[in-house]
């Protein structure tokens, strides 16, 4: 049985996050700061907020709290970006949910050209701004005739032309198998490189 989602109010979050500011730069916003509803609109609003606070940012990397991360993931991502600088997006995770995230080909490095990147992935600041999500857009619907779906990663692939590249092995592994956005066997890596 699934537990109901936990909603922390700003004061509760402050209590729960005590000590985090010793390791991280925290900027606490409440829902009313963004005026958005839903996970994907919150991603969009959060990314735009970060870009306004830190104009020197060159790339956005969207990460999840229900993943395992191989310690080499960032080095692998950096190498992938350098091997395919012309791409629209990059990732070190290939979802086994291949209805939407198909591998189209492998190159001589073993990297995979994919139809869509599971979980948004990484993109340049310029690509994100050209994509133009405000967070107040609501759902990110893709029509059935174009593959169907209501997630920001599918919407990006539908709205923005360009190559999307993934490493030939996976340096992230989804651990969620039961929840709103996960089901058994769907959100798992194809070939996770453990620690």
Read off the pLDDT of residues 84-101 as tens digits, 9 standing for 90 and up. 999 999 999 998 888 888
Closest CA to 182 of 157, 140, 159, 151: 151
Spatial CA neighbour of 120 closest among 93, 97, 144, 138: 93
- Asked whether the predicted pLDDT for residue 19 surpasses 80, the reply is no
Place of tokens 């198909």: 102
> Which pLDDT score, from 0 to 100, does residue 181 have?
55
Instruction: Report whether pLDDT(110) > 90.
Output: yes
pLDDT value for 184:
59
Q: Distance between CA atoms of 73 and 83, rounded to whole angstroms?
A: 15
Question: Domain boundaries in the chain?
Answer: 10-174
Q: What is the mean pLDDT of residues 154-161?
A: 92
pLDDT band per the 50, 70, 90 thresholds, residue 4: very low
Nearest to 47 by CA among 150, 126, 159: 126
Residue 41 has what pLDDT?
84
Can you give the pLDDT at residue 7? 41
User: What pTM does this model have?
Assistant: 0.81
Higher pLDDT, 133 or 23: 133
CA nearest 160: which of 182, 139, 140?
A: 140
Q: Residues of 114-150 as b/e, b for ≥16 C-beta within 10 angstroms?
A: bebbbbbbbbbbebbeebebebebeebebeeeeeebe
Residues 6+ apart with CB under 8 A from 5: none
Please state the φ and ψ torsions of residue 104, each to the nearest 5 degrees: -90, -35
């Amino acid at each position: 049985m699934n537990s109901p989602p936990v909603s922390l109010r700003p004061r509760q979050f402050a209590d729960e996050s005590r000590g985090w500011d010793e390791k991280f730069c925290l900027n606490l916003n409440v829902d009313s700061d963004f005026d958005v509803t839903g996970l994907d609109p919150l991603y969009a609003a959060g990314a735009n907020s970060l870009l306004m606070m830190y104009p020197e940012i060159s790339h956005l990397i969207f990460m999840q709290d229900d993943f395992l991360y191989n310690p080499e993931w960032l080095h692998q991502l950096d190498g992938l970006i350098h091997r395919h600088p012309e791409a629209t997006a990059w990732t070190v995770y290939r979802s086994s949910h291949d209805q939407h995230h198909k591998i189209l080909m492998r190159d001589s490095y073993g990297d995979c050209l994919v139809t869509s990147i599971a979980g948004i992935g990484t993109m340049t600041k310029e690509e994100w701004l050209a994509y133009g999500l405000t967070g107040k857009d609501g759902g990110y619907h893709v029509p059935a005739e174009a593959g169907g779906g209501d997630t920001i990663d599918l919407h990006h692939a539908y709205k923005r032309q360009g190559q999307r590249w993934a490493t030939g092995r996976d340096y992230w592994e989804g651990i969620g198998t039961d929840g709103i956005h996960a089901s058994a066997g769907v959100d798992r890596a194809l070939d996770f490189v453990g620690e």
